[in-house]
Amino acid sequence: MKAIAIIGVVLGLLVASTTAQVQIPAERLEEAFVLTPEEQEKNIEICTQNLIQLGKSIEAYLEVNGDYPEWLSDLYHPRYLPDPDVLICPADRMGGRAGFARNIDPKMPVSYGYQFRSQYRERIQENRTLYGDGVPLVRCRHHASPDFHCLNLSYSYKISRSWSIWEAVPEQLYDSPEEAIAAMEIGLQQQPYNERLCYYVYPALARLYIETGRADRVDSVIDLFKSSINTDYPRYYLTLARLLEMTDRDTELLQVFKELAEQDPNDRTAHRKLAEIYQKLGDTELATKHRLKAEPVLALIGKPVPDFSATDLDGKPISLEQYRGKVVLLDFRATWSSLCLEDTPNVKKVYDAYKDKDFDIIGISLDNDEKMLRDHLKKHEIPWRQVYSGKRWDSPIARQYGIRNVPTGWLIDRDGTLISQQASGGMLEHLVSEAVAGKRNLVKLIQSILGNNRKSK
């Protein structure tokens, strides 16, 4: 197989059984894939043609063998696919090596995700029943952009662009919303009871009815859902709630989440939705009550933050108490999170602007690869101390503070009281500037932003 050249850098095949691996330094790879918009579009054009050719090859394979191939590499044959380069996307920086071990083609490098392998066939056949032949057969994930995540080859051998979870927006797989609606209507007639897919298909159909001016049909979708899906299904209430929200049926919606909260008083999702509904209905007292149950940390705003004791990345003891007298940001993040990576320059900018004004940061890493963390810190010249346990979500400090998302920032005042547990992104600099200026009304400001209407004692 020919080596693949991108921006003049010959990557070669990173995985191949008959050729030596080519080792390219990580920084060279990164430079090689800084593409202009024109180059990106060229790659998409080539990839699209590859997918079209794969569709023709699969058709030929089906005609001869009566079934789909087990792997895309099975197509590599003079009768079906004589040119193996078609199996490699020009934007694939891994040269055909799958990101997950279970997806690695056992015979040769392949860039494309084949959806109809043996272990997926039952699941994909259910998808086809509910959504029709617009369902992806082959997918390419190497052109992710704000506009789309995947290029798809469907079972009807058409090319589409979609988000990774296309089930939420099935119209992306078709030429029009009406085509998607028609496919789902047929699918639900055949398989209305599919619990695994009902979380997507019922809300998607209801949404498309509304968007195409047929909102009067949503009630029939809700009735079909109620009569077909068992209430014991874990997502039954959440799916029903999504359907009821589309038609502003607040009374029924309120009852749904009351039942959920009664079944499990610790169900934060139920309390969060109850807070939203009561706020919409104008009952701020009940909204606040459920908001505090959904986010217990809100009760800490304006109160002392529990201390922690740990060892930093350099083996030195570290605790919140050591930072008393400073405004400090407990910064929970991980290098495996794209949102964290995008947010890193923002945090660094805020640190540089306020580090001489009694502001500091303690990084709490949810990584499980110490080398990747250290490389990241070095690359971005991050000077503040880091706590690393290698346990991801089970990191002791993350568990202590109930962290469930990254990036998450807890901003703590000089006296050790919590200012905000949402100090990240666009709000970070404003919060820090107010805090270092010593504006004591900041807590009330945050409470107002979060909809917390409790009276200060």
| Chain centroid offset of residue 267 CA | 22
* Confidence at residue 32, expressed as pLDDT on a 0 to 100 scale: 42
Angle 297-302-306 from CA coordinates, rounded to 5°: 55
* Confidence at residue 455, expressed as pLDDT on a 0 to 100 scale: 38
* Confidence at residue 34, expressed as pLDDT on a 0 to 100 scale: 62
- Spell out the residues 6+ positions from residue 116 whose beta carbon is closer than 8 angstroms to its own: 68, 124, 137
Three-class DSSP labels, 194-231: CHHHHHHHHHHHHHHHHHCCCHHHHHHHHHHHHHHCCC
- Residues 1, 4: Cα–Cα separation, whole Å: 9
Rg (CA), the chain: 26
* Confidence at residue 457, expressed as pLDDT on a 0 to 100 scale: 33
- CA 279, 284, 289, 293 dihedral sign is positive
pTM of the shown model: 0.64
Q: Is-contact 416 324, C-beta < 8 A? A: yes
* Confidence at residue 438, expressed as pLDDT on a 0 to 100 scale: 83
* Confidence at residue 187, expressed as pLDDT on a 0 to 100 scale: 95
**Across the 457 residues of the chain, what is the mean pLDDT of every consecutive 10-residue run?**
32 30 36 71 96 97 96 95 95 78 84 87 91 95 87 96 93 96 96 92 96 96 94 89 90 90 86 90 90 79 92 96 96 91 93 96 95 93 96 92 90 94 88 86 47 39
* Confidence at residue 320, expressed as pLDDT on a 0 to 100 scale: 95
Q: Name the residue type at position 27.
A: E
Domains of the chain listed by start with CATH number: 5-173 (no CATH), 178-299 (1.25.40.10), 309-449 (3.40.30.10)
